[in-house]
Amino acid sequence: MVVKALKWVGEVDGFLELVDQRLLPGGFVKLECRDTEQLYEAIKTLAVRGAPAIGVSAAYGLVLGMQSLKSSESIEQGLQVLGESCEYLASARPTAVNLFWAIDRVRRKAEKFAAEKTEAGLVALRELVLAEAHAICAEDVEMCLRIGLNGEKFIRDGFHILTHCNAGALATAGQGTALSPMFEAHKKGRKFKVYADETRPLLQGARLTAWELQQAGIDATVICDNMAGWLMKQGEINAVITGADRIAANGDTANKIGTYSLSILAREHNIPFYIAAPSSTFDLSIKSGAEIPIEQRAADEVRNFAGTQTAPDGIDVFNPAFDVTEARDITAIITESGVIENPNIDNVAEHLGT
């Protein structure tokens, strides 16, 4: 079973239903986001997370933002509210580029519609925004499947795969990015084991990835983050597959904090290191990973564990949500349109057709 992380319910006056990932695996609860403030909070507090899922959710968030408009208001007023919703939701998280990609796509579509259909009213504009959000969602589902089909060949019978954080169905509208090749290999009857890093400080690997793999019937084992190197030393890891939140023009990749360390360990032990991500995760305006903005999160995420204080009051905390893996340490980037071997600025540009 592959869980569905998000779903739009109803028409233009509907709402966005999300699986509350803060409560997994102990409780499976769905949130109903009925305005942009609720969605902003859901994104900020990681009730919904994963770059593709954030992007799709934000697209639907623009539908929510326009629900405050009255039918008598003009299409120009609709565009103004849409723009305000875009700016508001874009401020929820700074690193995941899919967030900005999705809302920019909807806004551009709406502006073009308003310019070409000068006699169209607000109702038509709202319907267009919902249709575009649906299109982004449907494309994400297909994208996940294509990543899986392009990446399953890297998982052989008897392999032990290491993954970090959560890049499965909970992180997308479909079956995931990094986990998608695993789901496809499993469908083909291959027998393999997945080691899931717990992924401190919020345990997305232990709470979410392990839960997803267990639901799908895939052999999974949770390890503490600092055990990965020793497993590699023992010959227990055949490949590393992770997702990504932003990829620079040269192939440098931002992903959950701890990914960079795994890439160095993999290089040292001659283990292939794969990134699985959609084309929308590439940010060609950023030349290298040095320019990727890194989100800093609350100190209490580190000072506390499962509601118990684990560090002294007032102690300084450094809590970046992401780090950057250099392209030279990435064996290949698996996208929905193929595989970028030995990624660099030329290979990335050729793959994306730029």
**Least confident range of 71-85, 109-123, 200-214, 278-292:** 109-123
**Averaged pLDDT for residues 62-67:** 97
User: Is-catalytic flag, 197?
Assistant: no
Is position 1 within any domain?
A: no
> What is the dihedral angle through the alpha carbons of 335, 340, 341, 346, rounded to the nearest 10 degrees?
-160
Residues 53 and 175 in one domain: no
CA 317 to chain CA mean position, Å: 25
Distance in Å from the first CA to the final CA of the chain: 38
Q: Inter-axis angle of helices 180-187 and 122-151, to 10 degrees?
A: 60
Tally Cβ neighbours within 10 Å of residue 267: 16
Residues 34 and 169 in one domain: no
Count structural domains, the chain.
Answer: 2
Catalytic residue of the set 140, 225, 245, 323: 245
Of 146, 180, 214, the position where a domain reaches its end is 146
Average pLDDT score over the chain: 95
| pLDDT for position 1 | 61
Structure tokens of 79? 């565009």
CATH number assigned to the domain comprising residue 227: 3.40.50.10470
Best CA proximity match to 28, nearest among 212, 184, 173 = 212
Which pLDDT tens digit goes with each residue over 100-122? 999 999 999 999 998 887 777 89
| pTM score of the predicted model | 0.92
- Give the single-character DSSP code of 193: E
Structure tokens of 136? 């982004």
Residues 339, 344, 345, 350: is their CA dihedral positive or negative? negative
For residue 22, the enclosing domain spans: 6-146
Structure tokens of 167? 């890049």
**Averaged pLDDT for residues 165-176:** 96
Residues 266 and 348 in one domain: yes
CATH number assigned to the domain comprising residue 54: 1.20.120.420
Residues 180 and 277 in one domain: yes
